[in-house]
Structure 1
Amino acid sequence: MQKECHKNCKCTIRPSKKREAVCTGRDLHYIPQFPDKIISVIMSGTNLTYIDKNGFQNLIYIRLKELTLDNNLITFIHEHAFVNLKFLDSLRIFQETNLDVNVIKASVGKMKTRNLRSLYFQNNNWLFLPVDMFSSFSYSEIRTVRIKDILRSLKNLDLSYNSFVCTCDQLWFTEWIKTNKVKLLSYPSFYKCRSPPALDGTLFQKYVNSSKDCPPWNPIYTTVIILLLSATVLAVIFAIIMKCQTNIKNYLYLWRINHNRRKGYLPLQDADDFEYHAFVVYCDADRLWVHQKFLKKLEQDEGMKLCIHHRDFEIGESITANINNYLEKSWKVVVILSNDFAKSEWCQWEVDVVQERRRRHGRDVFLLIMLKNIDSKHMTNQLRALLDSASSLKYPVGVGEELFWTAAVETLRKPLGHPPTALL
C-alpha cells in the first residue's frame, strides 16, 4: 500500500520535479512516514527535540539521498541515529542553535554510507570546533565500512555563519583545510570570529594569518604529563598492594606450592610417624578462637589431630614435662600470636622451648599465625627472632579467610626438608 504524505508535510513526487517532502509546524514532534519515491526530506520549524537511536526509522524504507534539519528545537541526536541511512549523499543541519557540536561529531562519525558528498552545518551558533572533529572520520571503524571512506567521498562541507572563538586552539582547523581536498563552502567570507571581543566580526582567515605568535606545544609538557600520570598510577597500585597485601601474599604462597608440585616435589609421609600432626602454642585469652575455629577447621574438616594443652596434657605431670613429652609426639608446631600472647611471660617461655624444634628441623616445622597485631611496645626480642626465622600467616576477616585456611592446611601438610615456599 502506498504511504500517504503526513498532514504537516507537502510531498512532491511528480517526475518533472524533485521528489521531496517538506514538513513544518510546531505540532509535529517526530519524523513521519513518507511515500516510497521520496528521496529528499526537509524538517523545518517543527517541534522535533530529541532524536533517539530509532528516530529515523521511518526513513530507512525509502532511498533517501538528502536530509535537511532546519530551525527545529533539536537538543540531542543519538550517535547511531544516522547509521541506517545508507543512501544519503547530503546532510544539512541549519539553525539548530540548541544542538551541541560534539553531538553532531558523534552521530555523523557513525554513518554507514559511502555516498556522502556534502555536509552543511550553517548558522548553528557553534563557537568552536573540537580538535578531533574530523579525525574520528578517519580512524573510527564500524562493522562494514570504515568512516575514512566517508571522508574520501565527501566533496563539500559548509560551516558558514557559525560564530567561532578565535584562539590558538582553533588553528588546527586551517591545517585540516590545507591537507584535505574537501571544498569548504562560503570560506572565508562567512567564517567570522565572535570572541574574544577584540576580534568580534574578524574573518577567521584573517585571524589565522595574524596569529603566528601562538606558542607551539612544548614537548616538556608532554613529558611532565606522562610523568604525573605514571606517578598517579604507581601510587594507586602501591595503595592497593598495601591494603590487600595479606591476600596477595596468600596468592603468592599458593602459587609457589602449586609450582613446586608441578616440578615433581612429592610429599613425604613422615607425618604418620607422629601421634599428633601439630603441637599448638597459644595464649589463654585466644582459647575461644582456637577451640571454636582452628580446631573445627583442621580436625573436623581436614582430618588432622592437634595437641592442645587444655585437652591433651596429662593430669599430674608438670607443665614443663607435658610440653617436652607432647612436643616429641607432634610433627609440627603451630604458634598463635596476638597482643595477649606477647604480654604473657609464660607464652614467651614456650616460644624459647619450641625454638629448639626449629633449630633441629628447620623453618618448615613452624606455622606462625598472626591472629591479632602485636603492639610495638610488646614486641620482645624472642618474638622478633621467631618472626624472622619462619614464615607467618595473618588471619584476615572477610574476603581473604578462605585463602588463609587453604594456606594454613598446605603449610601443615608440607613435608619437612623441602625448600621453603611461603613468602608471607
Structure 2
Amino acid sequence: MVINVSVFSSLPALRFIKMYDNPLACDCSNADFLQWMQNNNQTLVVDAHRYMCGFPLDKKGTRFLDFDYHSCWVDVSFICFISSTCVIVLTLLTSFTYHFLRLHLFYAYYLFLAFLYDAKERKKGSPQRYDAFISYNVHDELWVYREMLPVLEGEQGWKLCLHHRDFPPGKPIIENIAEAIYGSRKIICVISHHYLESEWCSREIQMASYRLFDEQKDVLILVFLEDIPAHQLSPYYHMKRLVKRHTYLSWTHAGQHPGLFWQNLRRALDTPHADLACDCSNADFLQWMQNNNQTLVVDAHLYTCGFPLDKKGTRFLDFDIHYCWVDVSFICYISSACVIVLTLLTSFTYHFLRLHLFYAYYLFLAFLYDAKERKKGSPQRYDAFISYNVHDELWVYREMLPVLEGEQGWRLCLHHRDFPPGKPIIENITDAIYGSRKIICVISHHYLESEWCSREIQMASYRLFDEQKDVLILVFLEDIPAHQLSPYYHMKSLVKRHTYLSWSHAGQHPGLFWQNLRRALDTPHADLTSSI
C-alpha cells in the first residue's frame, strides 16, 4: 500500500489517523509518508510502531518505522551527469589512444615482454646457441631456403635459427620468438611488403628493437628483398626509425654482383660487439672516468664511440653527458598531459561550438567590411541581392527574374551573372550584400547544405543585426520541417523571428506570392518587424 502525502495537506482539520492493519510498501514510494509520520506536529498517527511492511518480500513482517528512507534522496541526476561525463571523457581518450597511440602501446607492450625475458635470461646466464636468428615472412621462405641458407650455413658455416625449422613445438609462439632473439648473437630481418604486413614479423622486430635498445650493440641486420619507398614505411614507425639510424643491405641492388652482398652480410655477422655506446646509458661511466682518483683508465683518449651511428668513430671522452640530466620523463608527462587536454578541448569545441565560431568569424568579417563601406559612403547599386544554390538556378531564372526584373522592374544582383571575375569570392559576397537594399535568400535543402550559401546568410544576418532594418527576405522553395533546421541554428533563429514566403504554398495563386515579395522589396528601411 502506498500513501500519497499530498492528501493530508488538503485535510487541515485531521487530528488522528489509524491504519496499522494495512500492509505498507517499504520502499521509496512511501518515503514521503514515513518522513511525514516522523516530523508532522498536527496529526497524531495512532500506534505507528505497529505499522508493518507488506512489500517487498524481503522486508515483509518488519516494522515500517525501521525502514531507512535516506537512501531514497540520492541525487540521481547528478550521478547520471558524472557517469555520462566519465563515459564521454573515456570515449574521447579511447578514440585518441586508438588513432594516435595504438602503435606506441603495442610497441611498449612487446618491449615490456622482452624486458621480462631479458631479465630472466640474465639471471640464468644462458649461452647463445645460434650465430643469427632469421626473421622472415612465409611468402619469402623460398628465397631464404634457396639463396640465404646455402651461402650462410653451407659456405660460410654460420649456425642459423629459423622458426619453421628450429622452434620447438608446444611452446607459446611469443616465448619461442624471445628465446630465438636472445639465444642468437645477431638478428637478420628479411624485409618485404609481406613482412611489414605480418603480425608475427612485427612482434619479432619489436623484440629485436628492444634488445638493440637495451644492449646498445649492433645486433640487428636489415636485409631488404624489395625496394620500399619511405612513405610506405610511415605506418611502421619502428621500422622507419631503424632504417633512418642503421645501414641496411638491399638484395635488389646486388644486381650482377651477389658475392658482394654476401660478403657484406658476413662482415656484419663477424662484427664483434664493439665500441662504447655514446648515449645516456654510459653517462655514469664517463663521469666516473673523468672524476675518479683511485683507478687509472689506460689510454682513455683512445676510447671511441660505436653507437649511435651519428657518433660512431668519435672520441668517447668528447661525448657531452650534461643533457642526460634533463628530467625527460617529467617533460614527457607534461607534454602528453597538454596534448590530451588540448585534444579534449578541440573535440569539445568541434562538436559543440564550431557553428558558433564559424558564425562569429563571418560576423567579424562583415563588421570589418561594414566599417570600411561606411567610411567610403558608397551608394547601393542594386535593389536586391539573390542568394541561392546552383541547384535552384533554373527556378531563379525561369520564375523569379521574369517577374522581379521583367514585370516589376527591380535591379537584382546574381552571383553567376554579376560577380566581377578575379576578386576573392568572400569579397564579392560582401560587396553584393552591402551594395543592395535587400537580400533575398532562396532556401532549399541544397541551400542549407552549401558552404557558400551559409556564408552569405551569415553576413546578411550580421547586416540585419547591425542596421536593425528588415533587409532580409526568406523565400522557401520547399517545405523544410523545424527539426531539419536545427543544425543550421542561424537559419532556425531567423525563421522563428521573421515571417517568410513559401513557394510551395503559393499553389494556384502565384500572383499573391509575387505581390507579397514586391511589398517586401517596397518596404522602406524601418525598425525590425516580425512579419512582412
TM range (shorter): 0.3 to 0.5
Q: TM-score, normalised by structure 2?
A: 0.27
Structure in which a larger fraction of residues adopt helix? 2
Q: TM-score, normalised by structure 1?
A: 0.34
Q: Which has the higher contact order (CA 8 A, sep 6+)?
A: 1
Structure in which a larger fraction of residues adopt strand? 1
